Structure 1
C-alpha cells in the first residue's frame, strides 16, 4: 500500500512538473529573427498616421499605404488612405496621393497583397455617420500601384449583417487581411464581433472565402476561427500569410490572452485594452485550425527602450518571396506612424 501511495504521489508531481513546463507561451522563431529598425513616416502638421501596409513594386520601389486622420477629427468619421513611396524601409518617404477618401465613408486600416500581376488592397469601410460598431470591409484592385484603383462592385464584401458560423449575427467586420490559399481561392481573415454575448462586445478572428478576388465572399461555416470570447477576452489586428506550405496569422493580444493561456490573471500584465503587450503568432496546415500561439512581436519598449506605447497592426514587407521587415503601428507621443523591424534568417 505504501508503494502505491508513493507511486501515486510521484505521478501527481510528474504531471504538475510536465504541466508547468508546457503552460508558458514561448518566443517564436519568428520573433527571435527580428532586429530593431526605425520609427518612420512622420505625419504632416494637423494629421496623424496609422497602420502601415508596405509592398514593393516590380522595379523594387517601396510603397506604403496607411490611414491618415485629422487631429481635429476622428478615424471613425474622417479617416482616408494615403500613399507614400521610398527606396528602402528607412526612407526618406515621399507623399504620392490620397488614394481613398470620401465625404460619406471612412477608409481605414488597409492591407496590401499581390496576386499574379494584380495588387489587392483590403480595408475597413464604413458610413461616416454610423456608430463605431457598424464597420464593414471593402476591397480594391489595380495593376499599377499608382492606380487607377477599381473598387469591387460587391463592396462592402463583408457586411455588418448576416450569420456567423455559430449561428450568431455579425454586427461588425473590420481590419481585414487577404491571401490566396493553397487551392487558388481567395480568403479574407478579419476581426468579427457578433451578438452571441448580448451587449458584450468581444473581438474574434473569422474568415470568408471566394473564387474571385472581387468577391462575393462567403463566411466560413465554422467561424469564428480564433476566439476567447467565452473568457471575456479580445484578439484582433490579424495579418495572415502563407509561407513554406504553412499558414500563419499574427494578431494583437488586446486583453492578455498570453496571461490567460499561462494560467495567470490579466492583472499580471497591463490591465487595460489595446496593444500594450507583445503580439501572438499562430500556425496552421490549412488556415482553419490553429496551433497554440507563440510570441510573434514585441512592444516598442522592448525593441527600442522607448516609453511603452500601443504597438498594433502588424504587416510584413515581402521581398522575392521572403519576409524582409515587420511593420507595426505605434501610437506614441512622436509624429511617426510607427516603426519596422528587420527579419533576419527566419527558419520556421
Structure 2
C-alpha cells in the first residue's frame, strides 16, 4: 500500500511538472502591445523589388529611408544595391533621391542607419559577387549629411567571413548588422553569425563586435555568440539593437520557432517554415551582453492587417527626439511595397 501511494505521488509530481512546462507562455511584450498598424509603403519601380527599410529623421524632421533594391530578374546576393528615399512622414509620398551604394564587384544589402553626434552611420551586408552565398561580410560608412557624400571605412569589411568566435570556432558568415553607441562610449555592432561548429548544418546566431572608433577596426567579443539556439537546431536573425532608458534591447526575427520551443511545444523540424512567417522576439539586458528570456516583439502582417501571411522581417525603429516613434518591417508578399510601418503608441518599458 505504501509503495502504491508513493508511486501515485511521484506520478502526480511528474504530471504537475509536465503540465506547468506545457503551460509556459512567452508573453507579448509591452513594446508589441503598443503597436498601432500603419500602412504598406515604398512600392518598387517596375522590374525591381525593395527590402529592408532603415528610417531616420534629419535635423529638419524630414524622413529619410535607406533600403535594398534588387532587380526582379537578378539575385540579391549578386545584384542588390542601397537606395535612398525621402518623405515628410511615414505615410509618404516618397521621393527617390539617389543610389547610395552600388558596385559591379560587390552587393550592398540590408542597411541600418544611426546618428552619433553630428555623424550619420550606415552599416550593411557587404558581399563579393563571385563568392558563395554563405560568405557574407559587414561594411560601415559615415557621412555628415544624409545626402552624402558617404565615406566607407578603410577597414571594410569590418567584420569578415573568417576569424575566430569566442568558443574558438571559425566564422564563415557575418551579416545583417545593427550599430549603437553603448553607455561606456564604445561602439557595438551586433550581427548574424554562422560558424563551422555545426557542420554540415548551419545555424544563425547573434554575435557582437566592438570598437573605440566608429570606423573600426572592430574586434569580436571574446564570448560570442551572445544568443544562440543552435543546440536546438533553431535560428534567429535580423537583430535590431538599441539602448533606451538605461537598458539594452534587441528585436530579432524568430526564424524557426524559438518561441514554440521555449514554451515546451517545439515545431517538428520537417514542419518548420523558415523566414518571417511568425512573430518576432524582443530581449532586454542591463549590459547588452547577457540577454534574458525573450517576449514577443512584433506581429506578422496577417496579425496587424488581416492580410495573407507573408514574410515579415528586418525590424527598424524610427526615433524622434530620443523616443521610438514607429517600427518599420520588411514584408515580401504579392504587393510591390518594401513593407509596412506600425506606430509605437505609449510604450512604457517594464
Give the TM-score taking structure 2 as reference length: 0.95
Between the aligned partners of 2:11 and 2:337, the Cα distance in structure 1 is: 57
**Deviation at 1:16?**
5.0
2:328 corresponds in structure 1 to 327
3-state SS of the aligned residue for 2:197?
coil
**Deviation at 1:11?**
5.8
3-state SS of the aligned residue for 1:196?
helix
Residue 259 in 1 paired to residue 260 in 2?
yes
Aligned structure 1 segments of 4 or more residues deviating by more than 2 angstroms: 4-21, 267-271
* Kept in 2: contact 1:259–1:268 (CA 8 A): no
Between the aligned partners of 1:268 and 1:218, the Cα distance in structure 2 is: 34
Gaps of 5+ in 1: none
* Kept in 2: contact 1:259–1:269 (CA 8 A): no
Q: How many aligned residue pairs are there?
A: 347
3-state SS of the aligned residue for 1:250?
strand
Between the aligned partners of 1:269 and 1:117, the Cα distance in structure 2 is: 49
2:239 corresponds in structure 1 to 238
Between the aligned partners of 2:220 and 2:42, the Cα distance in structure 1 is: 35
| 1:143-184 superposed Cα distances (whole Å, 9 cap, x missing partner) | 110000010000000000100011100000000000001100
3-state SS of the aligned residue for 1:174?
strand
Between the aligned partners of 1:205 and 1:300, the Cα distance in structure 2 is: 24
**Deviation at 1:125?**
0.3
Residue 34 in 1 paired to residue 39 in 2?
no
1:72 corresponds in structure 2 to 73
Q: Is the alpha carbon distance of 1:188 and 1:344 closer, same or farther for their aligned partners in structure 2, counting shifts above 3 Å? A: same
RMSD: 1.8
Equivalent runs, 1:91-106 vs 2, <5 Å: 91-106=92-107
Equivalent runs, 1:41-120 vs 2, <5 Å: 41-120=42-121
Residue 288 in 1 paired to residue 278 in 2?
no
Which shifted more, 327-336 or 257-266? Answer: 257-266
Between the aligned partners of 2:340 and 2:130, the Cα distance in structure 1 is: 32
Between the aligned partners of 2:237 and 2:12, the Cα distance in structure 1 is: 42
3-state SS of the aligned residue for 2:198?
coil
* Kept in 2: contact 1:173–1:192 (CA 8 A): yes
* Kept in 1: contact 2:22–2:264 (CA 8 A): no
| 1:314-337 superposed Cα distances (whole Å, 9 cap, x missing partner) | 000000111000000000001000
**Deviation at 1:130?**
1.0
* Kept in 2: contact 1:256–1:269 (CA 8 A): no
3-state SS of the aligned residue for 2:231?
helix
3-state SS of the aligned residue for 1:221?
coil
Give the TM-score taking structure 1 as reference length: 0.96
Between the aligned partners of 2:107 and 2:143, the Cα distance in structure 1 is: 20
